[in-house]
Structure 1
Amino acid sequence: MTITNERELQGMRRAGQVVADTLRALREALEPGVTPAELDALAGQVFARHGAQSAPRLTYDAPVNVFISVNDDAVHGLPTTRPLQAGDVVSFDVTPSVDGFIADAAVTVAVPPASPVALQLIACAEAAFDAAMRVARAGQPVNAIGRAVDTEVRRRGFTVLRELTGHGVGRALHEQPDVPNFPHPGARSRLHEGLVLAVEPIISSGRAWRTATRRDGWTICTRDGGLAAHHEHTVMITRGRPVILTA
């Protein structure tokens, strides 16, 4: 989507506010003993208060309100009834549809007390997103984002999961362009003002950059058992620093 007027901007801001409120509620409820299924139900309650619906459910018939991925599950985790334990690394991926506008964001948190590796991995995903924000501006190639992410992740000793990418978003859940998290030779299109992107470094503490899909047909995990972290926001490209719509 490319935002061209104030109505579209406000529509995306409303969807982004639902994302922010939902992530806040999930983080506050995270504790040992709570189940991902209970957290998914909580997200559904927040959606309902805002008149929002789950975009993955609407688009792909996903059996969730939000995806919740634990430890070596990287993305699209189906919420289970297994109680979370101290030290678990939990990624919340929240994508509501509100009055025809879709916003997408994710955050990874650890159930305390967290291991040093988990904390370093989460910090790396956040730093990689920040690195992307420093280069994502009108006129730059899409590849600039992937180069910035990959450089930061490698510098900190972690691995980009290359099969998982960011993407355009706004009117549909997945729009063009794809936004790889490494310097992909095909990502040569130029960013332009008003373009809405989901920028989302997805990384692992392991060495394998390829992923696998679990038997549920949804959950994508690391191949070598490495922990995964995911940091994402929906942003609007400008001539300067992008506008974050989901914060």
Structure 2
Amino acid sequence: MIVRTQEELEGLRRVGGVVAETIRRMRAAVAPGVTTGELDLVAARTFHELGAVSGPMETYGFPGSTCISVNDEIVHGIPGGRKLREGDLVTLDVTPECDGFLADAAVTVPVGQVSPEAQRLLDVTERCLKDALNAIRTGVPLRTIGQTVERTARGHGASPFEELCGHGIGRKLHEEPTIPNLDVPSLKQKLPEGLVIAVEPMLTLGAAELEEQEDGWTISTVDGSLSAHFEHTIVVQDGAPIVLTA
């Protein structure tokens, strides 16, 4: 989506606000003994209160209001009866639709005290997102995003997943362009003013190989290594991007 009017920007800001408030409430509820289903219920109630619906549920029939992934689960974890334990990493991936607009953000949260390795993974993944957002301006090549993520990740001993990418968003959950988290030299097209994109580094300190679980949704690391995922939806402009989901 390209933002062309103030009304469109205001609609995106509204749904971005729903994302931010939902993540705030879910994050506050994270604790040992809490189930992923209970966290998802927090999101469902927040969506209802704020006049939104679940984008993944509406678009793809996903069996949850949000995607909640734990430890080696990278993305698309199904909320349910799994209880969080001290030392876990839990990813809260929130994508509501409100008044015809969608926004997407994710954060990986420590459950209580986590290992130094887990904390290092959180720190580098969040750093990748910050560095990528700092690099985005109108007119820069699309490859700049993946190039930045990969450089930061590998500089700290982490690896992005080749198959898992960011994407355009706005009127639909997944729009063009696809945004790899690795440097792809052929992606020379320049980012246009007003483009709405979800930038989402997903990293591991282990082997960057993934597999789909038997549930048909959850994607996990092959070697069981921890993963982390940080994401914001932004609007590209001539200057620092507008972060809709902050």
Alignment of 1:93-112 (within 5 A): 93-112=93-112
Q: Distance in 1 between matches of 2:28 and 2:172?
A: 29
Alignment of 1:32-47 (within 5 A): 32-47=32-47
Q: How far is 1:17 from its partner? A: 0.3
What is the aligned partner in structure 1 of residue 162 from structure 2? 162
Alignment of 1:11-160 (within 5 A): 11-160=11-160
Q: How far is 1:210 from its partner? A: 2.5
Q: Distance in 1 between matches of 2:140 and 2:91?
A: 30
Task: Note if contact 1:166-1:197 (Cα within 8 Å) is conserved in structure 2.
Answer: yes
What is the aligned partner in structure 2 of residue 239 from structure 1? 238
Deviation sequence 1:157-210 (CA, Å, 0-9, x none): 01111110000000000000001011124422210110000000000121x222
Q: Distance in 2 between matches of 1:189 and 1:177?
A: 10
Structure 1's consecutive aligned runs of 4 or more residues displaced over 3 angstroms after TM superposition are: none
Q: SS at the partner of 1:77? A: coil
What is the aligned partner in structure 1 of residue 205 from structure 2? 205
Q: SS at the partner of 1:215? A: coil
Letter in 2 for 1:73: E
Letter in 2 for 1:53: V
Q: Distance in 2 between matches of 1:80 and 1:70?
A: 12
What is the aligned partner in structure 1 of residue 181 from structure 2? 181
Q: Distance in 2 between matches of 1:223 and 1:93?
A: 21
Unaligned segments of structure 1, at least 5 residues:
none
Unaligned segments of structure 2, at least 5 residues:
none
Task: Note if contact 1:16-1:103 (Cα within 8 Å) is conserved in structure 2.
Answer: yes
What is the aligned partner in structure 1 of residue 214 from structure 2? 215
Percent of matched pairs sharing the same residue: 48
Q: Distance in 1 between matches of 2:190 and 2:75?
A: 27
Q: Distance in 2 between matches of 1:56 and 1:214?
A: 18
What is the aligned partner in structure 2 of residue 227 from structure 1? 226
Task: Note if contact 1:163-1:209 (Cα within 8 Å) is conserved in structure 2.
Answer: no
Q: How far is 1:135 from its partner? A: 1.3
Q: Distance in 2 between matches of 1:186 and 1:220?
A: 27
Letter in 2 for 1:205: L
Deviation sequence 1:106-148 (CA, Å, 0-9, x none): 0001101111111110111110011101211111111000000
RMSD of the alignment, in Å? 0.8
Task: Note if contact 1:178-1:187 (Cα within 8 Å) is conserved in structure 2.
Answer: no
Letter in 2 for 1:238: Q
More displaced 10-residue stretch of structure 1: 93-102 or 133-142: 133-142
Q: Distance in 1 between matches of 2:71 and 2:187?
A: 30
Deviation sequence 1:10-64 (CA, Å, 0-9, x none): 0000000000000000110000000000110110000000110000011101011
More displaced 10-residue stretch of structure 1: 187-196 or 171-180: 187-196
Task: Note if contact 1:179-1:187 (Cα within 8 Å) is conserved in structure 2.
Answer: no
Q: SS at the partner of 1:242? A: strand
Task: Note if contact 1:147-1:181 (Cα within 8 Å) is conserved in structure 2.
Answer: yes
Deviation sequence 1:41-89 (CA, Å, 0-9, x none): 1100000001100000111010110000000000000012021100000
Q: Distance in 1 between matches of 2:193 and 2:50?
A: 29
Q: SS at the partner of 1:117? A: helix
Letter in 2 for 1:111: V
Using structure 1 for the length normalisation, give the TM-score.
Answer: 0.98
